[in-house]
C-alpha cells in the first residue's frame, strides 16, 4: 500500500509574510488530517519562515528547484546543503522549468542524484504538451523523460523518489485530465517505465502523483484511481480549500 502524498507547488507566489499568514490559518487543519503525507513548496525566500511555522506539524516543506553542485560560481542557484536545514522535498524538472529555464532530462538526473545524496526526496516531474498529446506521442515522450531522469540509477534510489505526472495542457488551465486518462498514463506509461527500468518491486513502491488543475472538487475521483498516489497541486494549494482538497482525497 502506497500512502497518498499531496504537495502544494506555490510557484512564484506569496512573499514570506503572505506565506506565513496563509499557513497560520490552515496549519492546524492540515495537521489534523491523518493517513496522507502533505507538503507545501513555497518560493525559496519564504521557506525558512514556513519551515519554522510548520515545525512539529506533519506538514512537510519542499523547494521548487535546486542545483546539483555543492557550491561555487553558479549565480542565482541554491545548493543542496542550503536547502536541507528547512526542507524534506525538492521538486525537480517541473514543466515550467523545462519550458522557461531550459531544464533537460540530463540536468534533472544530476539534480535527483544530488538530492538523494543529501537525504532530500525528489518530486520528479514529467508530462507531455498538448501537441504531443494530440499527435499520440504521450507514451513515447513521457517514457523517455522517465528514462532520462532516472538514467544510471539503482532501483533502491528510484524507490526513494516521487514522480509527478503533469500533462502540460492541464497545468493552470482548468482542463483536468479525466481520471481514466490520468490513471492510464500513470499506470501504463510512468509506472510501466519504472518497471521496465527497475523491476516490478520498485514500480509497486514508487509513488506517482497526478498534477494539473487538481482542486477540491476533483481530488476524490482522481486520488480514487488505484494508480494515482497523490497530487502536485498549483493554484488550489494557495487557497483555504487546499484542506478540503486533501480531506476529499482521503
Q: How many residues bind ligand PGA (CB under 6 A)?
A: 13
Q: How far is the CB of 196 from ligand PGA (least distance, A)?
A: 25
Binding to ligand PGA by residue 38, rule CB under 6 A? no
Catalytic residue among 94, 103, 128, 216: 94
Number of residue whose CB is nearest ligand PGA? 234
Active site residue 106: no
Site for ligand PGA contains 233 (CB under 6 A): yes
Q: Which is nearer to ligand PGA, 202 or 222 (CB)?
A: 222
Are 101 and 139 in contact by the 8 Å Cβ rule? The answer is: no
Instruction: Annotate the chain with three-state secondary structure.
Output: CCCEEEEEECCCCCCHHHHHHHHHHHHHHHHHCCCEEEEEECCHHHHHHHHHHHCCCCEEEEECCCCCCCCCCCCCCCCHHHHCCCCCEEEECCHHHHHHHCCCHHHHHHHHHHHHHCCCEEEEEECCCHHHHHCCCHHHHHHHHHHHHCCCCCHHHHHCCEEEECCHHHCCCCCCCCHHHHHHHHHHHHHHHHHHHHCHHHHHHCEEEEECCCCCCCHHHHHHCCCCCEEEECHHHHCCCHHHHHHHHC
Q: Which range of residues in 57-65, 102-110, 113-121, 166-174 is near ligand PGA by CB under 6 A?
A: 166-174
Binders of ligand PGA among 188-217, rule CB under 6 A? 211-214
Residue 150 beta carbon to ligand PGA: minimum distance, rounded to whole angstroms: 20
Q: How far is the CB of 172 from ligand PGA (least distance, A)?
A: 4
Distance CA 122, CA 14 (A): 23
166 is catalytic: yes
Q: Least distance from C-beta 99 to ligand PGA, angstroms?
A: 11
Given 96, 103, 166, 216, the catalytic residue: 166
Candidate ranges 61-69, 82-90, 189-197, 229-237; the one touching ligand PGA (CB under 6 A): 229-237
Work out the widest C-alpha separation in the chain, in whole angstroms. 48
The least distance separating ligand PGA from the CB of residue 93, rounded to whole angstroms, comes to: 11
Q: Does 235 bind ligand PGA (CB under 6 A)?
A: yes
Q: Which residues bind ligand PGA (CB under 6 A)?
A: 9, 166, 171-172, 211-214, 232-236
Task: List the catalytic residues.
Answer: 94, 166
Amino acid at each position: 500500500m502506497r500512502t497518498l502524498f499531496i504537495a502544494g507547488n506555490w510557484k512564484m507566489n506569496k512573499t514570506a509574510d503572505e506565506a506565513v499568514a496563509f499557513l497560520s490559518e490552515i496549519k492546524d487543519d492540515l495537521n489534523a488530517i491523518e493517513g496522507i503525507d502533505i507538503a507545501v513548496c513555497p518560493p525559496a525566500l519564504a521557506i525558512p519562515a514556513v519551515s519554522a511555522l510548520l515545525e512539529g506539524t506533519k506538514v512537510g516543506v519542499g523547494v521548487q528547484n535546486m542545483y546539483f553542485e555543492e557550491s561555487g560560481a553558479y549565480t542565482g542557484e541554491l545548493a543542496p546543503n542550503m536547502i536541507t536545514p528547512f526542507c524534506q522535498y525538492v521538486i525537480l524538472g517541473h514543466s515550467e522549468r523545462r519550458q522557461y529555464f531550459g531544464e533537460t532530462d540530463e540536468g534533472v538526473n544530476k539534480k535527483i542524484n544530488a538530492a538523494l545524496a543529501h537525504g532530500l526526496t525528489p518530486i520528479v516531474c514529467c508530462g507531455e504538451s498538448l501537441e504531443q498529446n494530440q499527435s499520440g506521442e504521450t507514451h513515447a515522450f513521457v517514457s523517455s523523460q522517465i528514462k532520462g531522469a532516472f538514467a544510471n540509477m539503482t532501483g533502491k534510489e528510484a524507490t526513494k523518489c516521487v514522480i509527478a505526472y503533469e500533462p502540460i495542457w492541464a497545468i493552470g488551465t482548468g482542463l483536468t485530465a479525466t481520471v481514466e486518462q490520468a490513471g492510464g498514463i500513470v499506470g501504463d506509461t510512468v509506472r510501466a517505465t519504472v518497471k521496465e527500468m527497475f523491476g516490478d518491486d520498485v514500480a509497486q513502491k514508487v509513488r506517482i502523483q497526478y498534477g494539473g488543475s487538481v482542486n477540491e472538487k476533483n481530488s476524490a475521483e482522481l486520488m480514487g484511481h488505484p494508480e494515482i498516489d497523490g497530487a502536485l497541486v498549483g493554484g488550489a494549494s494557495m487557497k483555504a480549500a487546499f484542506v478540503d482538497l486533501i480531506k476529499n482525497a482521503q
